[in-house]
Structure 1
């Protein structure tokens, strides 16, 4: 649960500026520390996909490394994803076109052919680092709304080269949609309708500019605060409300805070 009154934008900046101390707090959590220790001790015993599936903690850490921890109870589905060849065009992962599953399958398919896959320290560390990154972003997001998505967006946005990548990634799409001020109902539109609207409002070239990515995040977090807070509780937020001639919030649109990408 997010803490009442915590500014999303402020907490996001603290999470970046004080990342080392925040990371120490995150890793000191009992559940996190226990999962990391268990993974380090037991992953070397995994010689097959079946071995991995039998150990819930190891599977949880592995799925979390790819932001898929919520899928842990879909046993048959997860196993299918881990055992189908990602190079086969007919495999389920290639029919889904979901980037998280694609990354998982490509990263772990070798376990089907190489029982020594987790004897390689690079493979073990790759999973652990992915787990820590995902769980750390979730940890920061517990304090203020939108911070998890903002941290993820900051990490991934530089790799966006076409609109379809934005639309395929739910977290990136969420940041873009909220930042543009599009309502939740936008998600119920047909794919082509969404694409047409986004083509008019999104410049893919902006994703190559770190400064513009930061502006996108800033706008997303400000809009998140507006959408999730009572403007009367924070006078600054009332400045972003439209002028209401018949009562309501009255105030100028801010001219010193440029949120345009």
Structure 2
């Protein structure tokens, strides 16, 4: 079996070619064509939510595929936008919702929201990357985690940013050889510890991030030699909102308190 790091490098050494392979898959190509042909005709949140193919495509593009059933929740996110600190999306520790608003900002641009490139090709580009990561995870969850970390690394500015995202936390705990039980500890102490043992600003450097992921991949192979890992543990419907229910409450409380 190809190792986690080898598989990760095969994908990332020519990301353009990897994404083109995904785009050429019949189902992906068909859904993408439909999205591009129809999203520009959407003039309201009602229009968007009435078309399940557009709605589901956009949610998957933002890693929110498992939230498709929660239409009232997504409607509230889109209706309130993200320009105000009191907007619903801003009250959530999970930044995927603000990213969805950035792509389809009906609250700010009304009927013109879907005319922007970010609502059209921008969403398509996100969809391709999400699909690539999901398909990689079908073969090796560690590869999906590494790809996700690489994509997200530049947005990591603190230990709390890591703790607020279970997939990022899994990569860091694995790379550092930390027990999963650590996730049950005090949030502030966890964040402080990570900031002591990691140079957080290194994640702004692709080369240093690559070195970190090489270490992660090696440790992942030791812990998961048979790839018996459950991907839903970190990529399920609540994967981006915290390490545990208690941690989610703590992180959201901290964010709400700083708004």
TM-score interval, normalised by the smaller of the two chains: 0.7 to 0.9
Deviations 1:188-228, CA, capped at 9 Å, x for gaps: 22322322332332221322333321111011111111111
SS of residue matched to 1:90? coil
Q: 1:190 aligned to 2:180?
A: no
Q: Distance in 2 between matches of 1:25 and 1:79?
A: 33
Please say which structure displays the higher CA radius of gyration.
1
* Post-superposition offset of 1:176: 1.2
The residue that corresponds to 1:36 in the other structure is: 32
Q: Deviations over 1:91-145 (max 9, x none)?
A: 3222222211122223323356421322334531111111112112222222222
* Match of residue 13, structure 1, among 9, 12, 31: 9
Residues 209, 115 of structure 1: CA spacing in aligned structure 2 closer, same or farther, 3 A cutoff? closer
Which range is displaced more, 177-186 or 110-119?
Answer: 110-119
For 1:191 and 1:197, how far apart are their aligned partners in 2? Answer: 10
Number of residue pairs the alignment of both structures matches: 227
Measure the CA separation in 2 of the matches of 1:140 and 1:23: 12
Among 125, 149, 154, the alignment partner of 2:150 is 154
Is the contact between residue 141 and residue 148 of structure 1 (CA under 8 Å) also seen in structure 2? yes
Note the 1:34-73 alignment, pairs <5 A: 34-73=30-69
From 174, 178, 181, give the equivalent of 1:178: 174
SS of match in other structure, 2:2 = coil
Which 5+ residue runs of structure 2 have no aligned equivalent?
227-259
> Residues 59, 112 of structure 1: CA spacing in aligned structure 2 closer, same or farther, 3 A cutoff?
farther
| Equivalent of residue 125 in structure 1, options 98, 121, 124 | 121
Question: Structure 1: which 5+ runs fail to align?
Answer: 231-261
Contact 2:80/2:107 (<8 A) preserved: no
Give the superposition deviation at 1:50: 1.1
Provide the residue aligned with 2:244 in structure 1.
none
Match of residue 165 from structure 2:
169
CA distance in 2 between counterparts of 1:49 and 1:203 reads: 42
Give me the whole-angstrom Cα distance separating, in 2, the residues matched to 1:209 and 1:122.
Answer: 25
Q: Residues of 2 paired with 1:207 and 1:19: CA distance?
A: 19
Q: Which residue of 2 aligns with 1:249?
A: none
TM-score, scaled to structure 1: 0.78
2 CA distance for matches of 1:205 and 1:112? Answer: 33
- Distance of 1:89 and 1:209 partners within structure 2: 30
Q: Secondary structure at the match of 1:115?
A: helix
1:257 paired residue number: none
TM-score (normalised: structure 2): 0.79
Tell me whether 1:108 sits opposite 2:107 in the alignment.
no
